[in-house]
Amino acid sequence: MESIFIEGTQKTPSVKFDCKTGIIEIKGRSIPENSIEFYKPLVDWLEEYAKKPVDKTQVNVQLEYFNTSSSKCILDVFKKLEVIHKAKHDVVINWYYEEDDEDMLEAGEDYESIIRVPFKMIEIVD
């Protein structure tokens, strides 16, 4: 399988899904009107990756903004990661939020309470 690298735009995040290193990154803004188009290939990729993941999958989510349309797709991404974790592979989700951005921290905690994968909340200090 091949890794995915996508540049960010005004409404969509930059994406690195690396199947060799097991590093999965989503960064920037995720506010498209219809997020399914953007996230469907990523969710499909994870389904494929889940069949033969590397020993340790490290997920870095560093979003400045995301809309509610994206929030569901991000949950779908996390649900695929949950499958990998359930199959006794090492997975950790690092959820980054900017200093004082309580809303973003809370959003991470919402996911943490739904998804059974270890989360790490990481504050970005200027």
Binding site for other proteins (CB under 8 A): 10-11, 31-37, 65, 67-69, 71-73, 75, 98, 100-103, 106, 110, 113-114
Q: In this structure, how many other beta carbons lie within 10 angstroms of the beta carbon of residue 24?
A: 25
Q: How far is the CB of 121 from other proteins (least distance, A)?
A: 16
Q: Looking at beta carbons only, is 53 or 78 nearer to other proteins?
A: 78
Q: Looking at beta carbons only, is 28 or 32 nearer to other proteins?
A: 32
Cα separations in angstroms, 94 against 1, 25, 36, 107, 123: 24, 9, 23, 13, 10
Q: In this structure, how many other beta carbons lie within 10 angstroms of the beta carbon of residue 27?
A: 16
Q: Looking at beta carbons only, is 54 or 105 nearer to other proteins?
A: 105
Structure tokens at 86: 């359930």
